[in-house]
A and B are shown apart, each in its own frame.
Chain A
Amino acid sequence: MDNNIAIQLENINKTYVLHDRGNTIRDRFLSVFTGKTTRKLQALNNVNLEIKKGEFFGIIGRNGSGKSTLIQIMNKAIPPDKGGLVKVNGQSMLLALGLGFNSELTARQNITLCSSVLGMSIAEIKERMAEMISFAELDDFADTPVKYYSSGMKSKLMFSIAVNAEADIFLMDEFFGGVGDQNFRKKADEVFHNRLVKGKTIVHVSHQVDTIKKYCDRVMLLEMGQVVMIDTPEKVLQNYK
């Protein structure tokens, strides 16, 4: 794999097998007598893509077009169908609403766990802990279990970890849709504009046209699991409308 490439996808198909019955021993036993109770749903169809290191790449498409499935495949959280190839150069982190934390643990403990998984040592985490908490604007709630946080607070915390623990690849799935706080959105703007995440690769999945237009170097338009086009934001957004 070329060292300048952050993510390479070749021949990516994804078929979900939907079970009409539940997934228990009883259901498995009953299906022997009642026959097949599964249906197939093709979520992605022959997607090929290369994202360069340091690129701000957008993915746009309507609900059900396969955007989130694609980003989960990039994060290696789910596998593509047989024959598909996923190569990722660096440590990626998915930023999505409602994901990412052990709700029983405090912000401090979640920062420690996630940062360690992203490659930081315990000593480094201790050193940067105050900075991460203050970046997320959670100084007064650092020792409160995350289960008491609002979704906005969780998003801030997640963004702070990704920026400060220096994930190589940020995979953002409709991430800024959930951060209602204008001050924090401004801060995120600064992060991207001042290139605090310089050299980092960002994949931004959204159907918010303004953020795509504002940040992305290239954009992919997905429709029914298929790539319609990959081009500059202006050209792709013309087709999307």
Chain B
Amino acid sequence: MIFPVIFSTFTQLLERSMALKISKSFRNRLERIYLFANTDYYVRYYGSKLGILWAFLNPFFQILIYYFAFSYLIFRQQDPSFILYLFTGVITWQFFSEATKSAISIFQRQRFILQNIGLPKVDFFWSLLASKFWGYLINFIIFILFDIALFHPVFSIRLIYLIPIWLGLAMFTLGICFYLSTFYIYLRDLDHLWSIVLMAGFWVIPIIWDSSIIFEGYEFMMWNPITAFLVQIRQVTLHNEIPDYQYLGLGLTVSFVLAVSGYLFMKYKSKKALEFL
């Protein structure tokens, strides 16, 4: 598998660099996070015949279905680059929705280890985020290759702006994951409610609709961090433009506050997780 190779090269590089001497306990923690992330992937995909391919087939077919539905059936949208707009929207939304859906029952899934060996619960969230972000990254690489192959885009160093945008997206997702998993301890049917929220979210976020044409009175739909990050991702990848700093800054601030408050909430309110689950 490619994942262990990348990981061991990564840790070896870190170890060899003079400036960063990794302590054994920190290295062990990194390894543990990697192992849990890898397990998450394994349990999810390896039982099926097509295995890991499902991680890519799912968004691929979703994009194709929306493209044909909206280009030919509903809007008669004839701009072929609409598929790129959809591509970025679908894979970004998929990252967020998969991570949060999976986080809801994280303590229940991991109780086998929590019950036996004490370890910081936050490590499960790092693993979850790493596993889902890995999938997102691979989908993103496929998007870039697809774009290059069919649309001959102009990419520049501005792609580097994706790093703060992704950081914000990851913080926001992590914050929501902390809150959901902790609430689930006390409200066991939260997963049903969350799937309704996600269903609504799909239409609230500009995944399919054009965020540059917003109806009067509906501007509030632009004021949520996911939309802010998605708009900036498109700005950088589809238009080769720099992000709107004010809009991105606001998204980053809200996400940071959410992640930190979510962590503290999870830390203090999940102590009785094993009693209730």
Contact = CB atoms under 8 A, between A and B. Distances in A.
Nearest to B33: A116
Contacts of A114: 113, 116-117
B115 A77 contact: yes
Given A16-B275, A104-B47, 20 more contacts: A22-B188, A23-B276, A25-B189, A25-B193, A28-B186, A28-B187, A72-B115, A77-B114, A78-B271, A91-B117, A94-B117, A100-B112, A100-B113, A100-B116, A109-B42, A117-B117, A117-B119, A119-B28, A121-B27, A122-B31
14 contacts: A75-B117, A75-B118, A77-B115, A78-B274, A91-B118, A94-B115, A94-B117, A100-B113, A102-B39, A113-B113, A117-B32, A117-B117, A119-B25, A121-B31
A102 B272 contact: no
Interface in A114-165: 114, 116-122, 158
A24 interface: yes
Contact of A116 (B31, B112, B272): B31
A100 B272 CA distance: 18
B130 interface: no
A99 interface: yes
A119 B113 CA distance: 14
Contacts of B276: 23
B50 interface: no
B117 A78 contact: no
B117 A26 contact: no
Contacts of A109: 39, 42
Nearest to B183: A25
B141 interface: no
B35 to A, nearest CB: 5
A103 B112 CA distance: 9
A12 interface: no
B187 A102 contact: no
Interface in B87-117: 112-117
Interface string A58-97: 0000000000000010011111000000001001111110
A224 B193 CA distance: 41
A103 B39 CA distance: 12
Contacts of B115: 72, 75, 77, 94, 99-100
Interface string B264-277: 00000001101110
B190 interface: yes
A21 to B, nearest CB: 11
B24 interface: yes
Nearest to A145: B47
Contact of B271 (A26, A79, A92): A79
A103 B110 CA distance: 11
Contacts of A113: 35-36, 39, 113
B24 A121 contact: yes
Contact of B189 (A16, A26, A100, A101): A26
Interface string A148-184: 0000000000100000000100000000000000000
A112 interface: yes
Nearest to A112: B35
A116 B116 contact: no
B119 A105 contact: no
A120 B32 CA distance: 9
A5 B276 CA distance: 31
Interface in A20-42: 22-26, 28
B117 A118 contact: yes
A94 B116 contact: yes
B87 to A, nearest CB: 32
B187 A25 contact: yes
Interface centre among B8, B24, B115 (most CB of A within 10 A): B115
Nearest to A88: B118
B42 A24 contact: no
B54 to A, nearest CB: 16
Nearest to A19: B276
